[in-house]
Structure 1
Amino acid sequence: MRSPRLRFLAAAAAPLAFLAVAACSPDSDGADGPSTTSSPDDAAATSAGPSDDLSDVAVEQQDGVPVLNWHGEPLAEGDLPFVTHETQSEQLQAGDGEEVGAEHDVQVRYLAVNGTTGEEIVSTFGTDETVTLDLTDETLLPAFRDNLPGTSEGESVLMALPAEDAFGELGNEQLGVGPEDTLLFYMEILDSYPVAGEPVEPVEGLPTVESDGETPAVIDVDGVEAPDELVVQPLVQGQGAEVEEGQMVFVHYTGVKLSDGEQFDTSYNRGQPFNFQVGSGQVIEGWDQGLIGQNVRSQVLLVIPAEQAYGELPEETDSTTAQPAHELAGEDLVFVVDIIAAY
């Protein structure tokens, strides 16, 4: 069984969306045309400018927040534009953790600066915010897929991306990035782990599952007895961090009724993961209880008794004001949940 790739999460949060190729188009209708953030003179100057050496850029900490200096001065006050015609990457601090692989999730903090204007674009520093990059995700900027494998947990790197390796000829008007602008990134690598988890030996008496990580799971409930209590069984053991109460969790899932195996819902048919705050009552009780403590990148089987799903069928009543029962009331439910990320 394969874990689903983090293809759609890039649209969920601005710091992550910025790192995705999908963010390149400035208009939702796909209209062509350069960004208006740079005048023709600016663009011409940038295009004609010399290629600059990344080693002349330094990172300094100001109240615990990194800023970029160029030739000893704040980048925005230097002799701009800063231009590179090929991707450059420089290690600033060695890491002593596990090596990042080409098929890993990588948890990072980062600062992005426009080399043409010296202006900060996005920063996750100064908050508790981190970003997890799926290096198998083809929508991720190629510079990260090419340069992060081989680094180590605890390492910090500085990167310069030419326009053609970043937002290309369209630029990104919303972010203030012109079609010729070089981008500078300072990135701290916090953690990494394989995208694919380890399969777990099936448990006798539970539903059997076939899953390819790209389409709805096929769940066979034949002969499975109704549960007396919530059943939580990992099918694939991920190596990411444990899901904590209060986190925003991103998942793909498929749900069937235990009574007849009929599928009643799946996120795959909607083309994007489902996200919710775990432990806050936004989902049924079986999810809130069952997913806390599970590891990111795990695939988890939940067999949920009706009272922890949509409740038991209500007793008959003559009241015309009684609320109608949920269509799944009285049903024991089975879900296969792929935990993609948790923040």
Structure 2
Amino acid sequence: MRSSRLRYLAAAAAPLIFLAGCSPESADEGSDDAAATSSPGDDAAATSAAPNGDLADVGVDTEGEAPALTWDGEPFAEGDLPFVAGSTEARTLTEGDGEEVADTHEVRVRYLTVNGTTGEQLVSTFENDEAVTLDLTDETLFPAFRDQLPGTMVGDELLLAIPAADAFGEAGNEQLGVGPTDTMLFYMVVEDTGEPLTEAQGEEVEPEEGLPTVTMGDTGPEIDVEGVEAPDQLITQPLIRGEGPEVVAGQSIRVHYTGVKLSDGEVFDSSWERGEPTEFPIGVGQVIVGWDEGLVGQTVGSRVLLVIPAEEAYGEAPEETEGETAAPGNELAGEDLVFVVDILGAS
């Protein structure tokens, strides 16, 4: 498999990317103004104009097909632009009565965001009935979410105004339409919350006969392939069906997995043995075909057995011609592979 830390910047991934600012490593450590892009309390004026606008005057119009922000009761873009916040502000519109969000939780939210300078709506997950999952321990999230979401309740509806200094900083984000001094306004609905999964949870499923057998041990699954025939096509067998949302192509998923060769049962890779899950984009060609096709459509919390023919893994073994040495390829080329995958999260 390719690097577990690859990120895929695509339209399908944009809702989550909007919630992540510059990581500490990406800031210019040699710049005197670097702190302005990483510390919420430091001189917001360095990346923001003078405050203009009151979050109390911002509302949400829910009469249309999808929510839209208003300013003094009018469409946001018709307000006294630019809307500029001097510091991060939050306001609860509706109080929920569900579980309280903790700072170690993953939070599933729907949201829309508006550029306070232009009045333009940048992203709305409501229009496609989508949601995103935020890991509040992820330090690349906007500080506003890590600071403001803990203590809220499932069902809460929030407004947030986030100045440039607490979002993308002086660099802005041209690709997403956010300038270096732009305040971002969010309307957010908290839909679910909970501690991140560490293993599959859900309803056990009786597997079809003739497949590898799986027994969970102290260091993950033990996979017995004795007597299993080579597959003609990809086999996807849920062993536990999770109760979370379906995995969608373009998302980044967090998983635990173990892979063995069908030919001899040898383990060639295991995140369980390394002691931590791995994360990568799915359904976008960044991993082997068997993973893209086998995991998209499965639900978060599931444990999935994949039996993958060589052509959907690392390809057929390179052919040797007389008098010539075959070109080097992946050491697993030509091997049918078996994986057990726990889907712990998708965002």
Query: What's the TM-score, normalizing by structure 2?
Result: 0.64
Contact 1:209 1:219 in 2 (8 A): yes
Determine the structure 1 residue equivalent to 2:341: 337
Q: CA deviation at 1:90?
A: 0.8
> In structure 1, how many angstroms separate the alpha carbons of the residues matched to 2:227 and 2:306?
9
Contact 2:199 2:301 in 1 (8 A): no
What letter is aligned with 2:305? L
| Pair 1:263 & 2:265 matched | no
> In structure 2, how many angstroms separate the alpha carbons of the residues matched to 1:306 and 1:171?
45
> In structure 1, how many angstroms separate the alpha carbons of the residues matched to 2:197 and 2:103?
12
> In structure 2, how many angstroms separate the alpha carbons of the residues matched to 1:70 and 1:198?
45
Distance 1:255 1:162, change over 3 A: same
Extract unaligned runs of 5+ from structure 2.
Answer: 34-44, 202-212, 317-329
Q: How far does the alpha carbon of each residue in 1:211-262 deviate from its partner, in whole angstroms, 9 at most, with x for none? A: 6xxxxxx7655x774458987545xx9663366xx86675444421251414
Distance 1:297 1:138, change over 3 A: farther
| Pair 1:302 & 2:305 matched | yes
| Pair 1:241 & 2:277 matched | no
Determine the structure 2 residue equivalent to 1:316: none
Determine the structure 1 residue equivalent to 2:142: 141
2:283 to 254, 273, 276: 276
Determine the structure 2 residue equivalent to 1:48: 50
Contact 1:198 1:238 in 2 (8 A): no
Determine the structure 1 residue equivalent to 2:15: 15
Distance 1:102 1:11, change over 3 A: farther
Structure 1 vs Structure 2 CA RMSD: 4.7
What letter is aligned with 1:302? L
> In structure 2, how many angstroms separate the alpha carbons of the residues matched to 1:178 and 1:91?
27
- Worse overlay, 180-189 or 69-78: 69-78
> In structure 2, how many angstroms separate the alpha carbons of the residues matched to 1:287 and 1:114?
34
Q: How far does the alpha carbon of each residue in 1:7-53 deviate from its partner, in whole angstroms, 9 at most, with x for none? A: 7667461111111124999x9x99x9x9xxxxxxxx99962345x43
Q: CA deviation at 1:113?
A: 0.9
Distance 1:226 1:283, change over 3 A: farther
Q: How does 1:170-185 map to 2 (within 5 A)?
A: 170-185=171-186
Determine the structure 2 residue equivalent to 1:61: 62
Determine the structure 2 residue equivalent to 1:215: none
> In structure 2, how many angstroms separate the alpha carbons of the residues matched to 1:108 and 1:8?
24
> In structure 2, how many angstroms separate the alpha carbons of the residues matched to 1:283 and 1:257?
16
Distance 1:334 1:129, change over 3 A: same
> In structure 2, how many angstroms separate the alpha carbons of the residues matched to 1:10 and 1:148?
26
Distance 1:187 1:8, change over 3 A: farther
SS of alignment partner, residue 47 of structure 1:
coil
SS of alignment partner, residue 62 of structure 2:
strand
> In structure 1, how many angstroms separate the alpha carbons of the residues matched to 2:342 and 2:280?
9
Extract unaligned runs of 5+ from structure 1.
Answer: 1-5, 35-42, 212-217, 314-325
Q: How does 1:81-120 map to 2 (within 5 A)?
A: 81-120=82-121
SS of alignment partner, residue 110 of structure 1:
strand
What letter is aligned with 2:338? V
Q: CA deviation at 1:135?
A: 1.8
What letter is aligned with 2:282? N
Identity of aligned residues (%): 48
SS of alignment partner, residue 16 of structure 1:
helix
Determine the structure 2 residue equivalent to 1:121: 122
SS of alignment partner, residue 145 of structure 2:
helix
SS of alignment partner, residue 340 of structure 2:
strand
Distance 1:70 1:232, change over 3 A: closer
> In structure 2, how many angstroms separate the alpha carbons of the residues matched to 1:101 and 1:61?
28
> In structure 2, how many angstroms separate the alpha carbons of the residues matched to 1:187 and 1:199?
28
> In structure 2, how many angstroms separate the alpha carbons of the residues matched to 1:287 and 1:178?
35
